[in-house]
Amino acid sequence: EVKLQQSGDELVRPGASVKISCKASGYTFTSYSMHWVKQRPGQGLEWIGAIIPIIDTTEYNQKFKGKATLTADKSSNTANMELSRLTSEDSAVYYCARLPDNSRFAYWGQGTLVTVSS
């Protein structure tokens, strides 16, 4: 069974950084890119970027360059996203997702709520 298990909710101070993890199981981690999506409270979905673990190549939405850094740890089958210089605009639920272009099978993590507050 494919599963994407995300790390727990975070409460962080403005200006700080936070790292969210997404542990993949049930498939070969390096065979699929991992996407990250942001959802502010009551709002729609926003694509942050994706990483291809096998070659450590990343693609970012220009809007999130400098804000989000995507990495992948092949030894632990874990994708990570670090968000820096946090402001209230970064308060959101963040999802990791396996979204292959041409496959019936797509999976999402359960989401990680990041709350930026002093």
What is the DSSP track for 54-118? TTTEEEE-GGGTTTEEEEEETTTTEEEEEE-S--GGG-EEEEEEE--TT-S--EE---EEEEE--
Which of these segments, 11-19, 24-32, 56-64, 78-86, binds other proteins (CB under 8 A)? 56-64
Residue 59 as a binder of other proteins (CB under 8 A): the answer is yes
Cβ proximity to other proteins, 57 vs 74, nearer residue: 57
Q: What is the DSSP letter of 53?
A: T
Cβ proximity to other proteins, 2 vs 16, nearer residue: 2
Q: Which amino acid is at 19?
A: K
Per-residue tokens: 59: 């693609």
Residue 62 as a binder of other proteins (CB under 8 A): the answer is yes
Residue 75 as a binder of other proteins (CB under 8 A): the answer is no
- Nearest distance, CB of residue 117 and other proteins, angstroms: 22
